[in-house]
Amino acid sequence: MKYGAKNQLLGTVTQIKRGTVMSQVNLDIPAESSMSSVLTLDALDDLGINEGDQVRVVVKAVNVLLIKE
């Protein structure tokens, strides 16, 4: 899959916090850093992201998108 965003990192999901509508996915990324992404519960379920999964972190403007390959 091709993406227009050039800022991409591989990360490992460390924690998923589910709310009533939104979820927060915490990640470990290279360089001893961490990031978080907030997405709807529907998007989280559609992507099938679980703790321990490796995902691609795509950063464009103010959005942080997770891609499970």
Q: What is the pLDDT of residues 21-42, one digit of tens each?
A: 999 999 888 777 777 888 999 9
The helix/strand/coil state of 60 is strand
pLDDT of residue 34: 77
Q: Rounded to whole angstroms, how far apart are CA atoms 56 and 37?
A: 12
pTM over 0.85, yes/no:
no
Delimit the domains of the chain by residue range. 7-67
* Residue 24: φ, ψ to 5°: -120, 125
- pLDDT band for position 46 (50/70/90)? very high
Q: Does domain 7-67 have CATH number 2.40.50.100?
A: yes
pLDDT of residue 48: 95
**Which of 23, 1, 10 lies closest to 55, judged by CA?**
10
pLDDT of residue 44: 93
